[in-house]
Amino acid sequence: DILTISISKEGIVFFNMDGKYNRRELLSKMGEKYGIQFTPQETNSFAVLSSLGVPIGSLKQFLTMAPEERELVRQPGIPSDSLNNELADWIMLSRTTNPKLRIAIKGDRDADYPVVKNVITTLIDRKVSRFNLITNMEKGS
């Protein structure tokens, strides 16, 4: 019951939600919202992805790749800025898919602050006031 939003040091936003059945339902809802039909094979691929970092418009193409090909692709991230905030839709539809979800933001300590701020603002704007921040502990000297 955990939704994780990860932010790389390059400011790339990734999304992951537990539960392959919930993920299948979520993909169906996103497809409906954006007018995209996903095949059963694409849905199965999505259900077992470790995390996702591509815009919805590129998702179909990404899911048709073999798993080893996907690992070689540099994912551009899920749009989360004020002009194009697909992350907001992923969050809202995830919460309707699994109302028990707990949300965590995992950020690289070198992550670009404005990206982290955009993600937090997106959560707050969607009435999500409880979430966890996950950071790595610094190594002692």
For residues 18 and 11, what is the distance between their CA atoms, to the nearest angstrom? Answer: 23
For residues 67 and 33, what is the distance between their CA atoms, to the nearest angstrom? Answer: 26
Q: How much is the pTM?
A: 0.89
Q: Percentage of the chain with pLDDT > 90? A: 72
State pLDDT tens for residues 9-35: 899 999 999 999 999 999 999 999 999
What per-residue confidence (pLDDT) applies to 77? 94
Two tokens at 82?
A: 């004020």
For residues 40 and 44, what is the distance between their CA atoms, to the nearest angstrom? Answer: 6
The mean per-residue pLDDT over the stretch 96-119 comes to 89
What per-residue confidence (pLDDT) applies to 83? 85
Question: Among candidates 59, 58, 57, which has minimal Cα distance to 23?
Answer: 59
In total, the chain counts a number of residues equal to 141
Higher pLDDT, 66 or 135: 66
Two tokens at 102?
A: 């707990």
Question: Among candidates 42, 83, 81, which has minimal Cα distance to 62?
Answer: 42
For residues 35 and 37, what is the distance between their CA atoms, to the nearest angstrom? Answer: 7
